[in-house]
Structure 1
Amino acid sequence: MKKMRFLVHLLLIIVVVAMSACSNTQSSGEEKKTLEVALWDKNVSPAVDKSIEAFKKQHPDIKVNVTYTPWEDYWTKLKTSIGGGKGPDVFWMNGPNFYQYTSSGFIKDLEPFIKNDSEYKKDKYFPAVVDLYTYQGKLFAAPYFIDSVGLYYNKKLFDDAGVPYPDENWTWDDIEKVGKKLSNKEKGIYGYSADIKTSQSVYYDLMHQAGGYIISEDKKKSGFDSPESKGAFHFIKKLIDEGISPSAKTVMETEGKQLFLSGKVAMIPAISVSAGEFKGVLGDKLGVAPLPKGKQKASIVHGIGWAMNAKTQNDKAAWDLIKALSGKEGEKVIAESGFSIPADKSISDIWLKSIPSLDLKVFLDAQEYGVPYPVSKNTAEWQDVETKEIQSAFLGQKPIDEALDTIAKKMNDILAKENSK
């Protein structure tokens, strides 16, 4: 009998506890949520972590998991997971993949959230990155930061060669002339790196500086076969042939950036995002100047946006997280970190002070003659052709002009299909 009373009493306790837990869940409004975040560059983690901590103070009931996937695997993993109906709630988006993800219905239109949010104003951000992430008149990724291209250089190598540092008056002739003085075959030092694997910071800029273009404004024609664009690639070949720049085979084995950081390259064109990383390795030996001009000045402008999974079950929380990352406070955090130029125009001056020893204004000034990163609906498809043909040409497997003509022909076919839909 006592045993029976004990069991009844125990059962009552369990029921009361269960009802209390249920009551607590209901009173809090909803069960604890988890937001999954995905991006590829760990160098931005201090800024991202700080913004997430601020978000969690406002949303203590929400857990946030951040996954960094190397660039080489990021897009394959992302597309597979989202295509399968899962994937992260919030993730980084770039220009080349934007049209594919929006047209496939993988990311959510942010306009309804913006319309109901008095704090978020699109006109606060640099127009180039807002336009980059606008599809059919609607914003699908919140601008986070922008980047442009400048000429980084190793002051010690310049001092050792007894030549003056680059400045705003430099042209392609200076790259060649000074590059020769800086190059030292015996020591394995190159004056300049024209790494043909890095399109944005190398040949895209040169194509525009030569008076050419990558894709026409109406997205209907390739510019790779224009005489001006071909001139840019022949300039690269000249630098390689004269020993001023590493060969394609060399940068296939050790990329230009690594050669620069190890003191084997004196000058390298690279995006603003590289400033913090380069400074961390080279310290006071690092300098930066505007890109030398050809027929004209040009610097490719790109930027990263925060996108929301179209199938997220927590869209309101995901929007609040995107705001914490790319709103005024989040933009201030990334500006102070020195990672890159914040997309919020009003915060850009803060970024200029993040690395006092570098003239970061070079990258802001580049916005004045900046060229938007080239994109179309199937950017990844024609860029795949572009990469294979250019590498083939510079590895000596075919003439450069033949490779560029092939790129243009295949790219025009891809663009024709895009425009016929």
Structure 2
Amino acid sequence: MKKLRLLVHLLLILTVVAMSACSNTQSSGKEKKTIEVALWDKNASPAVDKSIEAFKKQHPDIKVNVTYTPWEDYWTKLKTSIGGGKGPDVFWMNGPNFYQYASSGFIKDLEPYIKEDSVYKKDNYFPAVVDLYSYEGKLHAAPYFIDSVGLYYNKKIFDDAGVPYPDETWTWEDIEKVGEKLSDKKKGIYGYSADIKQSQSVYYDLIHQAGGYIINEDKSKSGFDSAETKEAFHFIKRLIDKGISPSAKTVMETEGKQLFLSEKVAMIPAISVSAGEFKEVLGDHLGVAPLPKGKKAASIVHGIGWAMNAKTQNDKLSWDLMKALSGEEGEKVIAESGFSIPAEKDISDIWLKSIPSLNLKVFLDAQEYGVPYPISKNTAEWQDVEMKEIQGAFLGQQPIDKALDNVAKKMNEILAKEKSK
């Protein structure tokens, strides 16, 4: 009997200990939550990591796990995980995919968090990126950085050819005229890269410089079949036909950016985010100038925002992390890193000093004649059509004008469906 009582007593002690351990584990689990973060560009990691460290000082018991997924797989992976009720708590959002995520309820409306926050002010950010990430008048992604397009050039190639560097007076005519002088078939050097895979930095700008548009203001009509748009694409074709720019087949195999970094291209239009990467590879050979004008000056303006998963169980912590990343201190970090122009207006000047040897003011000045990145509810759908038709035309599958007419027709059908829903 004594043995039985002793056994029961021991079992009770073990039960209490086990319950206590379980309780401590649960408590510890609550204290050590993990915030999952997702983005695609590892070049942003120094700035992102520094902002996360600042967040962890305020939340020492919170773990932040950052996943970098290559651009080619990012959106497929993100949509699959979020559609399945999971996915990261906080992640990068871009313009082409924003409407789909916002209208599908995949990301949270940030206005309730902003309303309760005494520090975060939407008015502090460039209006273009605030508008870009507003759905039904409400901000759904916190602006992080903006980008515009400039003309990067290789000083050594210019010097070797005895040609003056590009400046603010340049037009399309200069691209063609100087591009011919810089092109050298024997050395495999092209004067200019009109990589038709790069819509924002290549043909979107040219379309607006010619006086055309990609999509009209009320998002009901495509501008791809206009005379101005066709003029822009025939300019690209002329550069390729003259050997000034690599062919579509060439850039399918080796993209224009890689040719520029290999010093096989003298000039390339590219976004401000490329400045740090180009400088690291090309060093003192690198220069930058405003985009040459067509009938007028134009530079496509885009930007990245931080979005919050609508299904997150850690919304308050996620908002605190988003503020650490895109609030005043986070914006200073992204500016000082040289990665791109911070979305907060008053901090943008810090970025100008991040690469002293480059005239980064080119990209800030571009805001004055900047054109917002074209988007609608189903941007990704009509951009897929656009890409296939245009690339097919430059690969010789059909005349350019016919391809552009096809883009406009199919795009108008997609836009009509958007309006009917």
State the TM-score, normalized to the length of structure 2: 0.96
- Please give the residue correspondences for 1:189-208 in structure 2 after superposition, counting only pairs within 5 Å: 189-208=189-208
Counterparts of 1:62-73 in structure 2, within 5 Å, are: 62-73=62-73
The reply on whether 1:19 has 2:36 as its aligned counterpart is no
Provide Cα deviations, 1:257-316, integer angstroms capped at 9, x if missing partner: 000000000000000000000000000100000000000000000000000000001101
Gaps of 5+ in 1: none
Q: How many residues are paired up? A: 420
* Residues 3 and 154 of structure 1: CA distance in aligned 2, closer, same or farther (over 3 Å): farther
The offset of 1:31, in angstroms, is 3.6
1:112 paired with 2:112, answer: yes
Matching of residues 16-415 of structure 1 within 5 Å:
16=17, 18-19=19-20, 22=23, 30-415=30-415
Q: What is the CA–CA distance in structure 2 between the aligned matches of 1:65 and 1:279, rounded to whole Å?
A: 29
CA pair 4-275 structure 1, distance change in 2 beyond 3 A: farther
> Structure 1 counterpart of 2:370, which letter?
G
| Structure 1 residue 420: Cα displacement | 1.5
CA distance in 1 between partners of 2:250 and 2:5 (Å): 82
Q: SS where residue 371 of structure 2 aligns?
A: strand
CA distance in 2, matches of 1:201, 1:405: 22
- The one-character-per-residue Cα deviations of 1:240-266 (angstroms, maximum 9, x if unpaired) are 000000000000000000000000000
Q: How far apart, in 2, do the equivalents of 1:22 and 1:90 lie?
A: 29
SS at match of 1:92: strand
Q: CA deviation at 1:2?
A: 9.3
Matches of 2:253 and 2:106, distance apart in 1: 36
CA distance in 1, matches of 2:84, 2:181: 55
Residue identity in the other structure for 1:70: P
**Aligned partner letter, 1:404:** L
Within 2, Cα distance between the matches of 1:282 and 1:29? 48
CA-to-aligned-CA distance 1:45-76 (integer Å, 9 cap, x gap): 01001101110111111111100000000000
Q: What is the Cα deviation at residue 87 of structure 1?
A: 0.5
- For 1:182, give the aligned amino acid: L
Give 1:9 shift: 6.1
**Which residue identity is paired with 2:13?**
L
CA contact (8 A) 2:192 2:266 kept: yes
3-state SS in 2 of match to 1:109: coil
Conserved? CA contact 2:183–2:244, under 8 Å? yes
Q: Is the alpha carbon distance of 1:335 and 1:7 closer, same or farther for their aligned partners in structure 2, counting shifts above 3 Å?
A: farther
RMSD: 1.8
CA distance in 2, matches of 1:347, 1:4: 74
State the Cα distance separating 1:24 from its structure 2 match: 9.0
Structure 2 Cα separation of the partners of residues 321 and 414 of structure 1:
37
Q: AA paired with 1:186?
A: K
CA distance in 1, matches of 2:91, 2:166: 38
Structure 2 gap segments, 5+ residues each: none
Q: Cα–Cα, structure 1 residues 397 and 25, in superposed 2: closer, same or farther, change >3 Å?
A: closer
User: Identity of counterpart residues, as a percentage?
Assistant: 84
Normalising by structure 1, report the TM-score.
0.96
- Which amino acid letter does the alignment assign opposite residue 327 of structure 1? G
Q: 1:33 to 1:232 in 2, by over 3 A?
A: same
